[in-house]
Amino acid sequence: MTSIVAKLREIGKTDRRVADEVRRSLVETLFVSSTSLGMGAIAGSACSTAIALSSHDPWIASIAIAIGMTGALRVGHAVFYHKRSRGDDSTESARSETVYEIGAWVYALLLGMMTFLTLVRSDNALYHMLAGVLTIGYAAGICGRNAGRPVIAIGQLALAAAPVALGLFLSAEPLRWVLGGVTCVFVIGMVDITLQTYSAVLKAMSATQEQKRLTARFERLARYDSMTGLENRAAFQERLQNELETIGEQDEQLAVLWLDLDKFKEINDSLGHPTGDRVLCTVARQLSSIVDGRGSVARFGGDEFVLLCRGGREGFAEDMAREVMRAVIVPMDIDGAAIQVTGSIGVAVAPRDGADSDTILQHADMALYHAKSNGRNDFCPFLPAMEEEFLELRKLEAALRVAVEREELEVYYQPILDLRTGKIRSCEALLRWHHPELGMVSPARFIPLAESTGLITPISHWVLSQACTAAAKWPDDVGVAVNMSPALLKDLHLSHMILSALYTSGLQARRLELEITESVLLEENAQSNTLIREFQKIGLKLSIDDFGTGYSSLTYLKKYRFDKIKIDTSFIADVTRSREARAIIHALVGLAAELDMDIVAEGIETETQLGYVTGARCTMAQGFFVGRPMPEAIIRRRLEAQGRGEEWTGEDQSFRPALRRLQA
The answer to whether the Cα torsion of 184, 188, 189, 190 is positive or negative is: positive
Q: Which does 447 bind (CB under 5 to 8 A by kind): ligand C2E, Mg ion, none?
A: ligand C2E
Letters for 568-607 (x = contact with ligand C2E by CB under 6 A, - = none) are -x---------------------------------xxx--
Q: Which 625-654 positions form the footprint of ligand C2E (CB under 6 A)?
A: 629
Stretch that binds Mg ion, among 330-338, 388-396, 526-534, 537-545 (CB under 5 A): 537-545
The conformational region for residue 617 under phi > 0 = left, psi -120 to 50 = alpha, else beta, is left
The beta-strand segments (E) located in 288-403 are 295-299, 304-311, 332-334, 337-339, 343-350, 379-381
- By the rule CB under 6 A, 620 interacts with ligand C2E: no
Nearest approach, Cβ of 529 to ligand C2E (angstroms)? 19
- By the rule CB under 6 A, 513 interacts with ligand C2E: no
Letters for 291-330 (x = contact with ligand C2E by CB under 6 A, - = none) are ----------------------------------------
The nearer residue to Mg ion, 261 or 456, going by C-beta atoms, is 456
Nearest approach, Cβ of 431 to ligand C2E (angstroms)? 4
Is the separation of the CB atoms in 257 and 345 below 8 Å?
A: yes
- By the rule CB under 6 A, 540 interacts with ligand C2E: no
Nearest approach, Cβ of 654 to ligand C2E (angstroms)? 15
Q: Which does 21 bind (CB under 5 to 8 A by kind): Mg ion, ligand C2E, none?
A: none
Burial class (CB in 10 A: 0-12, 13-18, 19+), 277: middle
- By the rule CB under 6 A, 516 interacts with ligand C2E: no
Distances (CA, A) of 273 to 8, 91, 224, 270: 55, 45, 20, 9
- By the rule CB under 6 A, 483 interacts with ligand C2E: yes
The nearer residue to ligand C2E, 445 or 559, going by C-beta atoms, is 445
Element (H, E) at 116: helix 90-121
Nearest approach, Cβ of 396 to ligand C2E (angstroms)? 15
Query: 647 CB contacts (<8 Å, ≥6 apart)?
Result: 422, 656
Closest to 412 in 3D by CA, of 324, 480, 353: 480
Nearest approach, Cβ of 484 to ligand C2E (angstroms)? 6
Q: Which does 118 bind (CB under 5 to 8 A by kind): ligand C2E, Mg ion, none?
A: none
Nearest approach, Cβ of 418 to Mg ion (angstroms)? 17
- By the rule CB under 5 A, 546 interacts with Mg ion: yes
Nearest approach, Cβ of 306 to ligand C2E (angstroms)? 32
The nearer residue to Mg ion, 225 or 545, going by C-beta atoms, is 545
The nearer residue to Mg ion, 194 or 543, going by C-beta atoms, is 543
Q: How far is it, in rounded angstroms, from Cα 658 to Cα 516?
A: 31
The beta-strand segments (E) located in 251-290 are 253-261
Q: Which does 443 bind (CB under 5 to 8 A by kind): ligand C2E, Mg ion, none?
A: ligand C2E
The nearer residue to Mg ion, 80 or 551, going by C-beta atoms, is 551
Q: Which does 441 bind (CB under 5 to 8 A by kind): Mg ion, ligand C2E, none?
A: none
Nearest approach, Cβ of 442 to ligand C2E (angstroms)? 5
Helix, strand, or coil here: 297?
strand
The beta-strand segments (E) located in 219-312 are 253-261, 295-299, 304-311
Task: Pick from 320, 463, 592, 635 the residue near ligand C2E by CB under 6 A.
Answer: 463
Q: Which does 624 bind (CB under 5 to 8 A by kind): Mg ion, ligand C2E, none?
A: ligand C2E
- By the rule CB under 6 A, 160 interacts with ligand C2E: no
The nearer residue to Mg ion, 262 or 545, going by C-beta atoms, is 545
Closest to 370 in 3D by CA, of 305, 299, 452, 296: 452
Q: Which does 629 bind (CB under 5 to 8 A by kind): Mg ion, ligand C2E, none?
A: ligand C2E
The nearer residue to ligand C2E, 96 or 414, going by C-beta atoms, is 414
Is the separation of the CB atoms in 543 and 503 below 8 Å?
A: no
Q: How far is it, in rounded angstroms, from Cα 603 to Cα 573?
A: 7
Q: How is residue 303 annotated by DSSP?
A: T
- By the rule CB under 6 A, 546 interacts with ligand C2E: yes
Q: How far is it, in rounded angstroms, from Cα 223 to Cα 217?
A: 10
The nearer residue to Mg ion, 26 or 416, going by C-beta atoms, is 416
Nearest approach, Cβ of 443 to ligand C2E (angstroms)? 4
Task: Pick from 113, 308, 447, 542 the residue near ligand C2E by CB under 6 A.
Answer: 447
Please count the residues of this chain forming the interface with Mg ion, following the rule CB under 5 A: 4
- By the rule CB under 5 A, 483 interacts with Mg ion: yes
Q: Which 323-352 positions form the footprint of Mg ion (CB under 5 A)?
A: none
- By the rule CB under 5 A, 518 interacts with Mg ion: no
Distances (CA, A) of 658 to 20, 185, 418, 582, 643: 96, 127, 14, 21, 22
Q: How many residues does the chain have?
A: 664
- Tell me the residue nearest to ligand C2E as measured from the CB: 623
Residues of the chain by 3-state class (helix, strand, coil), percent to 5: 65, 15, 20
Closest to 411 in 3D by CA, of 432, 435, 426, 436: 432
Letters for 432-471 (x = contact with Mg ion by CB under 5 A, - = none) are ----------------------------------------
Query: What b/e sequence results for 527-553 when a residue is b if at least 16 CB atoms lie within 10 Å of its CB, and e otherwise?
Result: bbbebbeebeeeebbbbbbbbbebebe
Question: DSSP for 558-627?
Answer: HHS--SEEEE-HHHHHTTTT-HHHHHHHHHHHHHHHHTT-EEEE----SHHHHHHHHHTT-SEE-STTT-
Q: Which does 414 bind (CB under 5 to 8 A by kind): ligand C2E, Mg ion, none?
A: ligand C2E
Letters for 94-113 (x = contact with ligand C2E by CB under 6 A, - = none) are --------------------
- By the rule CB under 5 A, 513 interacts with Mg ion: no
Q: How far is it, in rounded angstroms, from Cα 287 to Cα 279?
A: 12
- By the rule CB under 6 A, 444 interacts with ligand C2E: yes
The nearer residue to ligand C2E, 192 or 605, going by C-beta atoms, is 605
Cis-peptide into 274, omega within 30 deg? no
- By the rule CB under 5 A, 545 interacts with Mg ion: yes
The beta-strand segments (E) located in 358-506 are 379-381, 409-418, 423-435, 439-441, 479-483
Task: Pick from 623, 655, 658, 659 the residue near ligand C2E by CB under 6 A.
Answer: 623
The answer to whether the Cα torsion of 481, 482, 486, 492 is positive or negative is: negative
Nearest approach, Cβ of 559 to ligand C2E (angstroms)? 22
CB atoms < 10 A from the CB of 398, how many?
10
- By the rule CB under 6 A, 442 interacts with ligand C2E: yes
Q: How far is it, in rounded angstroms, from Cα 87 to Cα 116?
A: 37
Residues of this chain that bind Mg ion (CB under 5 A): 483, 515, 545-546
Residues of this chain that bind ligand C2E (CB under 6 A): 414, 429-431, 442-444, 447, 463, 483, 485, 515, 545-546, 569, 603-605, 622-624, 629
